[in-house]
Amino acid sequence: MSKLSIEQLDLGDRRVFLRADLNAPLEGETVSDDTRLTAVIPTIQHALKAGASVVLASHLGRPKGKPAPEYSLEPVAERLAALLGQPVPLAPDCVGEETQARVSALRPGEMLLLENLRFHAEEEANDEGFARQLAGLADCYVNDAFAAAHRAHASIEAITHHLQPAAAGLLMRRELEALTRILERPERPLAAILGGAKVSDKLALVEHLLERVDALLIGGGMAFTFLRALGHDVGRSLVEADRVETARRVLESARRRGVAIVLPVDAIVAPGIDSTEGRPVGIREIPPTQMGLDIGPLTVDRFATALRAARTIVWNGPMGVFEKPPFANGTLGLARAVVEGPAFSVVGGGDTVAAVTRAGVAGRIGYISTAGGAFLEFLEGRKLPGVEALTEA
């Protein structure tokens, strides 16, 4: 990896500003899913064992630039303390005299969690003055928040103008290594699986992947725009009419490049997403009053066959309305197919990660990304502000 890593820093008696993504879902005043908290634990422990004191910072939710009790990081502090087995005190703010005094009192091996960065509008504005205040809390900077690396925010980008060196945390390093492996040195054949609702959300990704992959499997709502481009009548299924011609160009581009685009041959259809059951029909037999809400069993088999020869697989996006039980089987079946072969697999995006977990195969995925938007933007070939800001190794 070309960026400096926390493992390359001498942390003894130094104060580390550690930007993490602790944006965990809450139920009342309790963290309901601590996946993102668990992911940053190794970096925290590395810094503390190396003799550093840690100033931990994160956002939570969208408080719109002002303090809001429901977005306090207090539940996160409590859960982190349980995970780490040591106190994680919460500062009353992320800047200001009291916060500065509490940071100054930290001893090696101790840590302090700053209150929600987004209680200040200057955070999302990437404000230099606010970044300078944050930088004044520490001696060096570590970013372990890959899931927020596509945001040019003060604690992610501007802070590095005032606090150096700026290194990647252990989670950030693993994310970059896994995704760089896919884009720059994949073992071939490389297959990409894309799902989700809309072609427009992933058009840049599709076009970028066509230059790199050997096969592209498309499911979810976005598949119906491609099927319409091939002349299929898909009933009431989701179709972006203004993207049909674009889909046609993508299919032609793939043909010229020799990239196999694999589309559904059947679908689970129902009158609407609130239906309590669906039935499989061939793509050519979707009734005018029905809509496709999942890939069908024949498509699961077709996708599994296409993946059998792959040596690298990247997957983002469910194959249907995954949150509804009648329309989850396609996504779950695909999750099992991804791990059947010898391929190194990388999965990203909340629904996709939930799918491999529900299918019981998460432990067999090569790498599970904590990121959604940053995952997609990296695969699109876009430069991420939070990565660009890090010091070169």
Active site residues: 36, 198, 350, 373
Q: How far is CA 66 from the centre of its chain?
A: 26
Rounded distance between C-alpha atoms, residue 385 and residue 75, angstroms: 29
Using the CB atoms, write b or e for 178-194: b if 16+ within 10 Å. Answer: bbebbbeebeebbbbbb
Q: How far is CA 55 from the centre of its chain?
A: 24
Contact indicator for 143, 119 with CB cutoff of 8 Å: no
DSSP conformation letters of 53-100: EEEEE---S--TTS--GGG-SHHHHHHHHHHHTS---B-S-SSSHHHH
Residue 81 half-sphere exposure toward CB, CA atoms < 13 A: 12
Count of CA atoms in the C-beta half-sphere (13 A) of 305: 10
What would you report as the CA-atom Rg of the chain, rounded to the nearest whole angstrom? 23
- Interatomic CA distance for residues 362 and 120, integer angstroms: 37
- Report whether 314 contacts 217 (CB < 8 A): no
Residue 165 burial class via C-beta count within 10 angstroms: exposed 0-12, middle 13-18, buried 19 and up: middle
Beta bridge mates, 57: 19
Contacts by 358-366 with C-beta closer than 8 Å and gap 24+?
A: 358/328, 358/332, 359/332, 359/335, 361/335, 361/336, 364/339, 365/338, 365/339, 366/178
Largest CA distance in the chain: 70
| Pick from 108, 122, 119, 164: nearest CA to 141 | 164
